Structure formats: C-alpha cells, structure tokens
Structure 1
Amino acid sequence: MKPKNNNRRLALALVFVLFFLWALSSNLLPTMIRQLMNQCHLNTFEASFTESAYWLAYFVCPIPIAMFLKRFSYKAGIIFGLCLAATGAFLFFPASEINIYGVYLAIFFVIATGMCFLETAANPYVTELGNPETAPRRLNLAQAINGLGAFIAAMFLSKAVLGSGRFSHVYLTLGGVLVLTAGIFVFTRLPKTADEMETMRRRQAARTSKTKVPHTKLIDFSVLRIRHLRWGVIAQFFYNGGQTAINSLFLVYCCSYAGIGEATATTLFGIYMLFFLLGRWIGTALMGRFLPHNMLLVYALANVLLCLVIAVFGGLAGVVCMMGVSFFMSIIYPTQFSLALAGLDEQTKSGSAFLVMAIVGNAMIPQLTAFIMHKFPETYHIAYLVPLVCFLFCAYYGWKGYKRDD
C-alpha cells in the first residue's frame, strides 16, 4: 500500500529535517577536536578519540535499533532518537564545568546513539517513500539537505565554538531544536511503509481470531548473504572512515601542519563544506541523466587521484585538493546506501542496520590516519594514503560490487 502523495511529501520534508540535524551534530566534531586539544591539552592522536567515542555508537547500536524499529515503527524510532540526542546535548553544560576529557567522550556517545536512531530509520524510510527506481536520487536529495547542515556547522557554528570556547551554549541550542523537532513528529501522522502495514495487518488478524501474533524476526542476519548488500556494508565502512579521516583532521592539518591560523582555518573549513554541499546538489541533478553506479565509480576515482596529490605534496596544495575531495565525496554515501538496499523488501530494516553499523569505520580509520601524522611529523602528508585506499573500495563498489545476484 503506497502512501498518498500529499502525505508522502510531508513525510519526506520532515525526514529531510533529520538529515540536516544530524549533520550539525557530526560536523561539529572536527571543531570539537581542535577545541579539546587546547582545553584538555591533547595531541593529535589523543584528540582523535573524540571521533571514536561518537562513531562507536554506530557500531554498537544499529542492531538493537533495527529490532526496535521492526517491533514499533520508523516514527517511534525517530522520536526516541531525537529525545536521546537532546539529552546528550544538554549534558554539555555540566560537563563544561567539570572539564574532564572522559566525560566529554561519554556524552558524545550518548548523542551519537540518538543520531544513530535517526540514521537507521531515516535512510531506509526515504528509499521506501516512493518509486524504488528513483530511490538513489531521492536519498541523494535528502543527503543534499545533510550537506547544508554540514556547511552551517563548519562555517558558522565552528566559529562560535572556537571563538568563545563556550561550546556548551551551542549544544544547549542544538538540544532545544531536537526537542522541538521531536514534538512536531509526535503530532504528525507519518505514512506507514508496506512492511509496517503488513505487520499491522497480522496483529489485527491475530486480535480478531484471538490467536498469538505470528512470529517475525526482529533482525535478519541472513541478509548479509546477499552479495550487493554485503559489499555495500564493506564499501560504507571504508567510505565513512576515509571521509571522517579527512573531515576530522582538516582543522588540525591547517593549523598544525600547513601554518594557517584558526580564524582562517575555520573559514576554509566552511568553504570545504560548501564544496560538499555543491557536490550533493549537482550530483543529485546529474543522477537524473547518469546511472548512479557510474557516477559513484567516477567520483571515487577522482578522490583516489586527489588523495595521491595530498600524500605526495602536502602543505597548501593539500588544502586545495581537499576542497576537491569534499566535492567528490558528496554523493558516495547515499548512492552506496541506496544501491545496497535495492530489492531487499522486508529485509530493508535489517540491511539498513548493517549499513549504519559500517559507520564504525569512523571510529577506526581516522585514528590510523592521525597516528601516522603524529608519528611522522616531517612527512605527515603520507597519512592521506589511508583515505586513498578507502576510496578504492568505493570505486570497486561502483564498478562491480553493486551488482545484484538476480
């Protein structure tokens, strides 16, 4: 049963807001890394564990979240996630008074768990609200809104954090917005997906006949036997790790290695995210003319070449190349996500859980990159061979990995 067009448009608009919100949260991390380096007297490698604490939640939580979504609904998961993330954001006010690095890491984990609810629910929900053939374009449009949030976080919120050092005010505001958004979702009727309608039908039939509700798996591990989903999980692991390695270390690279001041570096970070935003909007438009997997292959190979230039030359040349990397990273995540979910039907929620779990690459690959930069300060730029390898996996997925068994 397809949702009516008006209901579907409203649902898409509201879900697009979620993409914007979690972009604000995740793209504040590079700024917080720089801030915590100064405030807690950390080196590059130590500060990189800020990313680990945040993205570890994306490995631990997706399976329980997928079970929650299967038992209840996408809407219930979204509301719970918004409230949990808001709780974490409010905790920054007392944490800033204590100023202990471990406390900050725990709070980042709480916020990330809430955002993980949003991502595990929102990504597949967007693919199911419409024609399956246009799902990649629809998800890229949603991720273009995500890119707008990333740009605002990098260009404006980063200056508020580094400029005053009172980052708790930024997070208190974010928490308020999350609570307001949760309230809107509570009072909005969202369309049910075909899977949710079928679950409701079975429960209604069981109540009518006074029998037990038929057992259904809350999480289906057999989905990993599907080739294009399995390769999609691998590709997402490496993409997320490569993207976050470049994003999270951008300000550190500019300030500690390229000799750029913090004020200029935050402006450059905003421009960097503007390239990401432009890449998503342009990529979404081009996807109406070109096959998604072909665009994925071309964009990933472009990043392989740009990372090679960064690894060889470093310095200001590296900063310029990172702008290009940001542009060409733009469509990779949503394109891989939608290609991996193609044809999964009732296994979509389980598939989405494993794809979101792949974000754990963010908690591992940036640390390797930061370790190399810290260990070899004279040739720090060779660390960018790590994201280069990551984009090679993405290129493979656009070349062969996306192909379905059927």
Structure 2
Amino acid sequence: MSSSKQAPLLSRDGVSLLLPFIIITSCFALWGFANDITGPLVKAFSKIFRMSVTEGALVQVAFYLGYFCMAFPAALFIQRYSYKAGVLLGLSLYAVGAAMFIPAQMAGFYYPFLAAYFIMTCGLSFLETSCNPYIYCMGPEESATRRLNLAQAFNPIGALAGMYVAMHFVQERLHPLDTAERALLSPEEFEQIKSDDLWVLIQPYIYIAAVLVAIIILVRLLKMPKAGDTRSSKKLSTALGELVRIKNYREGVIAQFFYVGAQVMCWTFIIQYGTHVFMSEGMDERSAEILSQKFNIAALICFTCSRFVCTWFLKYIAPGRLLSILGILAAIFSVGAIVMTDRSGVYCLVGISACMSLMFPTIYGIALRGLGDNVKFGSAGLIMSILGGSVFPPLQALVIDSGVTAGGLPSTNLSFAIPLICFIVITAYGTRAYRRTHSGETE
C-alpha cells in the first residue's frame, strides 16, 4: 500500500496551492493539444506534399527534436530566474512557432513547417521543464507522484481537443482526392489543391497562437508561489555528475525515452494501421482515414478516463508496481496488434492507450524521488528523453514503407514490434523501481 495517501496533495506548510495548481495545470492541456493535433497530420502532410510515410514522419522528428534541444537550456533558465519565467518564455515560443505556420503556408514548401514545429516545441520544452517540477514541488514529496498524475490527467483533455480539431477541422476539410489520384494531377492542379489544403491545415495553429497570447497576459499578471523555486549556484556539470550516479534516476530517463517513443508511435500510426484494415474491408482511403481518426479519439478517451482511475489506484498501489502491471498489459495488447489483421488489432491499439495513461507522470515522479536541489536539472533530463518521440516513429515508418511481410502479416502490423520492445523496457523499470523502494535502496 502506498504511504502517499496520508500526505496532503495541494498544500505546503499549511498554505493552499489550489489556484496556482489550476493555472499551471492548464498548461498541461495546452501542450497536450499541440502533441495530439500533430500525430494525425503526419498522414495529412504525406498526402498534401505527395510524400512517403517516412518523409511525413519528419514532422515528428522536428517536433520532438525541439524538446531535446531546449530541455537543459530551460533548466538553466529557471535555475537562474523562476518557474514562472520559464512558463512565460515557453508560452511565448509556443505562440511564435504556431504563428510561423502562416509564412510556411505562403511559401508552400514542406521544410518551413518543420521549422515552425521545431520552434513551437522549443516552447513546449520550456513549459514541460518548468511545469512538471513546479507541480512536483506544490506539496510534500510523498504525494508528488499522485499530484503529477492529477495534473497530467488534464493533458489528454487537451489531446482530445487536438485530435477532434485534426479530424473535423483538418482531415474532413482536405480535398477528397486520395494519394493515388493526387499522383496523377498536373503540376498546376497539384499546386492549387496543395495551397488550399495547407490553408485548411494552418487555421487551428492561428487560433491557438491567439489563445496563447491571452494566457501569457494572464500568467504575467498573476502572483505565483515560490514553492520549490529557489535559486542555486550549483553548476550544470556538478548536478549532472550527481544525477548520473543515481541508478533510479538514470534508469528513469531511459524508461521515459522508450515510453514517449511508444506513445507517439501508437498515436501516430494507428491512422496507417486502421486505414490499411478498413481499406481491406472495401472502404475508400479518405473514409478509412477518418474512421481511423475516430478510433484514435476513442483511444484518447480511454487514456483520459484511465488516467483518473489510475491516479485513484495510486492511493493503494505503489507507483512502481502499478507501472509494471500496466506495462505488461500494454505489451499483451501490442502482440495483439501485431498478430491480428482485422478490426481486433485496432481495438488492441485502443487498449494500449488505456495502459499508457499512467506511464509518463509515474516514471517522472519515481525518477525525481530523492533528488533534492537537483530536481530542476533532473526534470530537464527527463524532458530531454522525450527525444524518443523523434527517434522511434521514423524507424516504425521505415518498416511500414518497406512492405515486408512475415507469416502473412503485413508490414503495418509487424511495425508494432517496436512499441512492444518499448513496453518491455518500461515494465522492467517499474519492477526494479518497486523492488528498490521495497528494499529501501536509493541508488
């Protein structure tokens, strides 16, 4: 049984931190929106620019590369200034990146969009590096994992909004010509349809940029607490030297790297997987894509509901143990997605999302345990591990594009062996973390 159920959740030294918690938690929804409007658009970019799945997956490379590049600069920034300053800078870069979609659309080329995604996710890296440890510090360390799970429960609400917008305001409004028909267009026809489709694609980003400006003003005007927000003269090299010697933290960074890769793969390539299944049933490509996106939204709904349920379970089950249980279930569903070639495989992918709900904040909370004044740099290392979302999707896309088959299973199915490996690594970390906690081992 977890001892954290006795610890206060949203207070420190007898002072309620509910309002700051609500304000910072809203940022979790904002980056959830950005993350999950992006995945479905990999297929859209591939169609609009007549590219392969692998080329389209460069969107995810640019997206998660920003997280990697800015994590430690963000940690140094909030170390010198404050969590609030980090939040404000993160929101500003997010807004600038979203606004860059306008000149990218005007240019009509693919790579300016990748630059916009990169700048946007530099902002998201600042946000996550600031908000996660800020939430972690808004109360006792004993209840930190529960508090992180509660805040992260609002992340999939933003994610659902992103997927809904991607389906109803982007995918359904794109020109109905499928990939094969677009390949037959004349250069003039192709350019006109591409321009129209890109205008549809950028509109959500224009609106989110306007929303971000309003939130920047709100956060700037509000007085925020100093919980855990103390300056330190410790050098980055010193902090890193201390962190790498902590086994629990070191393994947590690795587990987070594999988790983010698994999440991005499952939420990006469910579109390709579902499209393949539904077209084999006789459905046209556009209808198959839209139905696949509906399953993707169903996966996010399961993820959201499971996050609240699992947060409640953490009152009674140790985080490491619950993480390992969900990792085993996710691995079983991954096997199902590999071996089943009908709609049952799509249902397995939906089931994986229910298992993933707890993983990010729980790995995060376990890994930060006992870091003391190294929490900010420790958080940056965990945010850098989001690079897994940039590394693994292109590998899976290469498998899909290869067209390789084995035992009658298509390449789309076989590609989910990569998420399976990721869930095995996560299960191992949960098991080891639980044993360390149970035995009292700290390193």
1:192 matched to which residue of 2? 226
Counterpart of 2:397? 370
Measured at CA, do residues 313 and 194 of structure 1 come closer, stay the same or move farther in structure 2, by a change above 3 Å?
closer
2:126 alignment partner in structure 1: 117
Q: Aligned partners of 1:346, 1:58: CA distance in 2, in Å?
A: 22
For 2:240, the equivalent position in structure 1 comes to 221
Q: Would you say 1:238 and 2:258 are equivalent positions?
A: yes
Identify if the C-alpha distance between structure 1 residues 315 and 48 changes in structure 2 by more than 3 Å, giving closer, same or farther: farther
- 1:64-213 equivalences under 5 Å are 64-164=73-173, 165=197, 166-196=200-230
Q: For 2:366 and 2:317, how far apart are their aligned partners in 1?
A: 14
The one-letter amino acid paired with 1:43 is S
Q: Deviations over 1:220-267 (max 9, x none)?
A: 212121110000000001111111111111212222454262332222
* Alignment-derived partner of residue 262 in structure 1: 289
TM-score (norm 1): 0.92
Indicate conservation of the 8 Å contact 1:272/1:322, yes or no.
yes
- Asked whether 1:271 is paired with 2:271, we answer no
Q: Mean alpha-carbon deviation: is it higher for 298-307 or for 176-185?
A: 176-185
- Contact 2:261/2:391 (CA < 8 Å) preserved in 1? yes
**How big is the shift at 1:218?**
4.6
Q: Partner letter of residue 144 of structure 1? A: A
Q: 2:166 & 2:224 partners in 1: Cα distance?
A: 31
- What is the CA-CA distance between 1:147 and the residue it aligns to? 1.2
Instruction: Give the Cα separation in 2 of the matches to 1:107 and 1:280.
Output: 31
The CA deviation at 1:275 is: 0.9
Question: Could you tell me how far apart the structure 2 residues matched to 1:286 and 1:341 are?
Answer: 20
Contact 2:323 2:427 in 1 (8 A): yes
Q: 2:368 aligns with which of 337, 341, 346?
A: 341
What TM-score comes out, normalization by structure 2 length? 0.85
Q: Compute the displacement of 1:155 (Å).
A: 2.7
Ranges in structure 1 where 5+ consecutive residues have no aligned partner? 200-214
Cα distance, 1:194 vs structure 2: 3.6
Identity %: 30
The aligned amino acid for 2:59 is T
Size of the aligned set, in residue pairs, is 389
Q: Is the contact between residue 159 and residue 266 of structure 1 (CA under 8 Å) also seen in structure 2? A: no
How much has 1:290 moved relative to structure 2? 1.3
Tell me if the contact between 2:41 and 2:166 (Cα under 8 Å) persists in the aligned partners: no
CA–CA separation in structure 2 for the residues paired with 1:75 and 1:266: 36
Q: CA deviation at 1:153?
A: 1.4
Task: Quote how far apart the aligned CAs of 1:385 are.
Answer: 0.8
Q: Which amino acid aligns with 1:174?
A: I
2:82–2:229 CA contact under 8 A, matched in 1? no
- Show the counterpart of 2:55: 46
SS at match of 1:27: helix
Structural RMSD (CA): 1.7
Superimposed CA distance per residue, residues 308-330 of structure 1 (whole angstroms, 9 cap, x where no aligned partner): 11112233221110110010000
- Please name the residue that 2:6 is paired with: none
How far did residue 195 of structure 1 move? 4.8
- The 2-side partners of 1:60 and 1:315 are apart by 40
Kept in 2, the 8 Å contact 1:152–1:270? The answer is no
Q: 2:252, 2:364 within 8 Å by CA — same for their partners in 1?
A: yes
Which whole-Å CA distance do the structure 2 matches of 1:11 and 1:274 have between them?
A: 26
**Aligned residues of 1:92 and 1:171 also touching (Cα < 8 A):** yes
**Cα distance in 2 between the residues matched to 1:375 and 1:157:** 27
Is the CA contact (8 Å cut-off) linking 1:3 and 1:193 kept in structure 2? no
Structure 2 letter corresponding to 1:123: N
1:3 to partner: Cα distance = 6.1
Unaligned 5+ runs, structure 2: 1-10, 174-196
Return the alpha-carbon distance in structure 2 between the equivalents of residues 320 and 148 of structure 1: 21
CA contact (8 A) 2:366 2:433 kept: no
8 Å CA contact retained: 2:37, 2:165: no
Residues 2 and 194 in structure 1, CA contact (< 8 A), matched pair in contact too: no
Equivalent-residue separation in structure 2 for 1:103 and 1:244 (angstroms): 22
Distance 1:121 1:314, change over 3 A: farther
Distance of 2:138 and 2:14 partners within structure 1: 10
Q: How far has the Cα of 1:13 moved from its partner?
A: 0.4
Distance in 1, Cα, partners of 2:325 & 2:295 = 25
8 Å CA contact 2:320–2:433 kept in 1: the answer is no
How far apart are residue 95 of structure 1 and its match?
1.3
Structure 2 counterpart of 1:263, one-letter code:
I
